Chains A and B, each alone.
Chain A
């Protein structure tokens, strides 16, 4: 079946612009996660959604970052007023449930470059 898809695969933007990154999870998966992979910080959790519950935003690095998930499926991560330190690969993952034992399946990522 189809895996997790993300778009765009690459995004180059200028400092100060807003960007939107999209994630399509595996059909039927109720949990959706966003992570960031950067050279300096490694892989870090940003935010996750489970069903209709309020999202866990505990990993968002600043209030310039936000995310939403519409209809329990597609998710969009928005970064406002991008900074150079936002340059990273943004990964989306989904899993059947949000328990500690569930396997997360990752998308190919969006490489964001802020000039």
Chain B
């Protein structure tokens, strides 16, 4: 079946450090891939997405590339800020737009 696996958290970084959160997926067909973010006390919001192989999604300095050959969609940011502290969810969408989420990775950025 379809599934998403994320690296476990929590991840703790110092401000301006480089961030990578790994995400791999298993899917039949050609899913779209998403990163959603949940800031403390707020709802889920889309961070970025990619709808086909080799697409790169980007937003707010975050990037992720849809790699079909490695079934991955790793999230990266070159220099994190305290305000990036949140829980990040990788997800895939297939039939009917239903989202399958990874377990979430909590990121804490220290000044």
Total A-B pairs in contact (CB under 8 Å)?
64
In the complex, chain A residues 46-97 whose Cβ is within 8 Å of any chain B Cβ: 48, 50, 56, 59, 91, 93, 95, 97
* Cα distance A108–B38 in the bound complex, in angstroms: 10
Please, which residue of chain A has its CB at the minimum distance from the CB of B89? A43
Least Cβ–Cβ distance between B91 and chain A, in angstroms: 8
Whether, in the assembled complex, B49 has its beta carbon less than 8 Å from a beta carbon of chain A, the answer is yes
Q: Is the interface of A mostly helix, strand, loop or mixed?
A: strand
Residues of A within 8 A of B102 (CB): 42
Least Cβ–Cβ distance between B38 and chain A, in angstroms: 9
Whether, in the assembled complex, B44 has its beta carbon less than 8 Å from a beta carbon of chain A, the answer is yes
Please, which residue of chain A has its CB at the minimum distance from the CB of B33? A100
Name B residues whose Cβ lies closer than 8 Å to a Cβ of A: 30-32, 34, 36, 42-46, 49, 51, 89, 91, 93-104
Name A residues whose Cβ lies closer than 8 Å to a Cβ of B: 31, 33, 35, 42-45, 48, 50, 56, 59, 91, 93, 95, 97-109
